[in-house]
Structure formats: structure tokens, C-alpha cells
Amino acid sequence: MLKITQLLVDLYGCEADLDDEGFLLDALERASEAVGSTIMRRITQRFSPVGVSVILILAETHLSVHTWPEHGYAAVDVFICGEEKDPNVAWGVIREALKPESFETKEITRTIGESRK
């Protein structure tokens, strides 16, 4: 059994361009690198007229961002399974990139592994 912390962050009033998928992908890749995780897949999806979803599938689960540029809002999930991987390191890189005016972080502890019968 492995206890991990998943971070769910709501970012408000972002200064960064939330409609730029290349920029968002780069931010997530740098976040993944900072925490020492392995990227398996990179997925970007544009919405009309604006909005982007970027998801990295990691060897250690996933990193995702969904943006609503018209509201300056982004939803970030940092779900990294690995005993020595600190999700706050990844979140720090994303925060630096997206430059939110304010944000709300929720830390959730999950227990990964065998049945707990």
C-alpha cells in the first residue's frame, strides 16, 4: 500500500495566455520533469471558441490542466503516484507559469494498492 497526495487546484485571474496549448503543454512538461516523473503520452485538445485541455499520462498516473480563458480560470490536477514524488514541486512550476492572482488548493490523500479488507 502506498499513500499519495493528489492536488486539485483552482486558479483564478491567470496572467498567462490560457488559450495557448503549446505554452500549457510546456508548463506541464516542465512540472513533470521537476518532480522526476516519466511522460508516456501528451494530449492537447482545443475547444471552440476558446479553451484548452492538456493531459500528460505519466508512468506515475497523470497531470492535467483545463482552461477557461474567458474567465482567466484554470483547473489543475496533479496525481502522481510515487513515494518520493512531491506534487507540490509540480504545482510550483505550474503556478509560476500560469501566474494566478489567487488560487485554491485541495490536498487529497489516496491509498493505492491491495484490498483493504
**Could you list the residues that contact a second copy (CB under 8 A)?**
6, 8, 10, 12-13, 40-41, 43, 45, 47, 53, 55, 57, 59, 61-62, 64, 66, 68, 71-73, 75, 77, 79, 81, 101-102, 104, 106, 108, 110-117
Q: Nearest-CA neighbor of 55 among 37, 86, 30, 76?
A: 76
- The C-alpha angle with vertex 19 and arms to 15 and 25, in degrees rounded to 5, equals 95
Q: How far is it, in rounded angstroms, from Cα 2 to Cα 6?
A: 12
Closest to a second copy by CB, 27 vs 61, is 61
Which of 26, 23, 46, 36 has the alpha carbon at shortest distance from 89? Answer: 36
Q: Least Å distance between CB 98 and a second copy?
A: 13
Closest to a second copy by CB, 23 or 73: 73
Nearest-approach distance from CB 50 to a second copy, in angstroms? 13
Residue 26 or 47: which CB sits closer to a second copy? 47
The CB density around residue 72, as the number of other CB atoms within 10 Å, is: 17
- Which residue, 27 or 52, is less far from a second copy as judged by CB? 52
Residue 24, number of CB atoms within 10 A of its CB: 24
Grid coordinates given for 43: 494530449
Least Å from the CB of residue 103 to a second copy: 10
Smallest gap from residue 14 Cβ to a second copy (A): 9
